[in-house]
Chain A
Amino acid sequence: MTDAAPAIFAALEASGFGAAIRQSRWLYMAANIGHIVSLMVFAGAIAVMDVRMVRALSATSPAYVLKAARRIAIIGFICLVISGAFLFTAEASHVIMNRVFQIKLGLIALGLLNIALFEISIAPKVKNLPPLTPLPSGARATAVASISIWIAVAICGRSIAYF
């Protein structure tokens, strides 16, 4: 526990839930494994969408690929948030003060913003495109931004333990 953190995070760490995660033989380990598996599911689905938006797999109907991958990405993201919340709660007062974690949160916000931008301005234009047709402008840029941001998020996540 560190006093440097805002009281709410100290309280979260000191809660019965926090103690249960730290003291359980398997809970912390399960959350750790769940987080990495969720990341694989999420990153895999995101990569499929991004790859399609940089004009690979061009013989497929883009909206169909996006729809299938989007569903998996959402499931992966939800599992990431849940498992991440367990890991965070166990050490909340330390992790919230961790610079790399703060950068990670910022990057996640950026990644979600990029998704919102994509879903609002690009996905609707892709909706009825047949295979082998040019994609709307900006599709490639958001895809490159997407994969870069999420890889950076993963790098930050793994780096928290080393800072």
Chain B
Amino acid sequence: MKHTRVAIAGFSILAVTTVAAVAHHGWGSYDASKPVTVDGTILTSTFENPHATIAVKAPDKIWTVTLAPTSRMIARGALADVVAVGKTVSVYGYPSTVEMNEMRAERISVDGKTYELR
């Protein structure tokens, strides 16, 4: 029947787009089973949407640390000058399974204060 065929075609589109959601990166691709704590100095800081980002120079390597959306950062008190270049920070979070030396921060400690970012 014609309508059945159209329905099958329609739902095939749905299925394909859903099934396509398997690999690659995004918020799902951080390994929560291997949390890391990175201590170091902020080299660069981008306080922008969709997520604030900092580069932290740790003893062994430079980490790209993805923080929270700026509105949440501000709501938690982690303003742009808290995560400014030159600050010494301690970041707890999860390493990316896709990008080398990139992590998503669960919380960040600056100047003796800890900011929850989730």
Contact = CB atoms under 8 A, between A and B. Distances in A.
A28 B69 contact: yes
B20 A28 contact: no
B10 A22 contact: no
B47 interface: yes
B17 interface: yes
Greatest chain B CB density within 10 A among A21, A90, A144 is at A144
Contacts of A22: 48-50
B50 A90 contact: yes
A140 interface: yes
A103 B17 contact: yes
A29 B24 CA distance: 25
Given A140-B3, A159-B21, A91 B50 contact: yes
A145 B6 contact: yes
Interface in B55-95: 69-71, 74
Interface stretch (A61-69, A125-133, A146-154): A146-154
B74 A25 contact: yes
B14 interface: yes
Given A100-B20, A140-B3, A163-B25, A25 B10 contact: no
B6 A144 contact: yes
Given A161-B27, A163-B25, A23 B47 contact: yes
Contact of A156 (B10, B17, B25, B70): B17
Given A155-B14, A159-B17, 17 more contacts: A22-B50, A23-B70, A27-B49, A28-B69, A28-B70, A28-B71, A148-B14, A149-B10, A149-B13, A152-B14, A152-B17, A155-B18, A156-B17, A162-B24, A162-B25, A163-B24, A163-B25
Interface of A: 19, 21-29, 90-91, 99-100, 103, 107, 140-141, 144-145, 147-149, 151-152, 155-156, 159, 161-163
